[in-house]
Amino acid sequence: MTDTGTTAITENERAADLSNRVRAVHRQYPTGVTVVTAGVDGKPYGLAVNAFSSISLDPPLVLVCVNESSNSYGPVFASDYIGINILAADQVGVAGTFAKSGGDKFAELDWELSRLGVPVLAGVAGHFELEVKYKIPAYSHTIFVGQVVEAASADKAPLVYQAGKFFDGARLEPVQ
């Protein structure tokens, strides 16, 4: 006998609820804002990514996760060398440009092609150039593990993202 006075929660509703709760937790975690870049035949490609992390210092390895649905995924996947540009606090507009899909994201920006063929954005807080060592499939994303072959930093605060807002990384309050 079925109780018609109660509504059964479907598996799809449970999954959607969990997805919303997971997204809410992720939004509370502050992260730096990076732009992953790749050059193919001298043409620059790039996308905004916040799933970036150091793995080790010896050897110097980092990882970045890229969504396979991104227009820039193909060029990044095809490249032996990629760039991680850590945006500076004054580059909110750059973050917005690279968060959008399609178009020539580099048209209105200052950038240069490194000796390895990696597009490096001007004015960033820092950047890495990576030799891609591993491409690990992870459902809708690929985890790129790269060995750092070049790195540079500027005396600039990073751009930080949390809960749908951008923050100046220099204005973080120390915990006592």
**Residue 23: its H or E element:** helix 11-28
| pLDDT given at position 173 | 81
Pick from 59, 57, 55: which is nearest to 136 by CA? Answer: 55
pLDDT tens for 144-173 read: 999 999 999 999 999 999 999 999 999 988
Task: Name the residue type at position 95.
Answer: A
Structure token pair of residue 123: 């004015």
**What is the DSSP code string of 60-77?**
EEEEEEEETTSTTHHHHH
Higher-confidence residue of 2 and 53: namely 53
Say whether pLDDT at 6 is over 70.
no
Average pLDDT over all residues of the chain? 93
Whether the CA torsion 77, 82, 84, 90 is positive or negative: it is negative
CATH 3.90.550.10 fits 32-162, yes or no: no
Spatial neighbors of 85 by CB under 8 A, at least 6 apart, are 34, 35, 36, 37, 46, 120, 121, 124, 127
**155 contacts: CB under 8 Å, gap ≥ 6:** none
Q: State pLDDT tens for residues 92-143.
A: 999 999 999 988 999 999 999 999 999 999 999 999 999 999 999 999 999 9
Q: What percent of the chain has pLDDT over 70?
A: 95
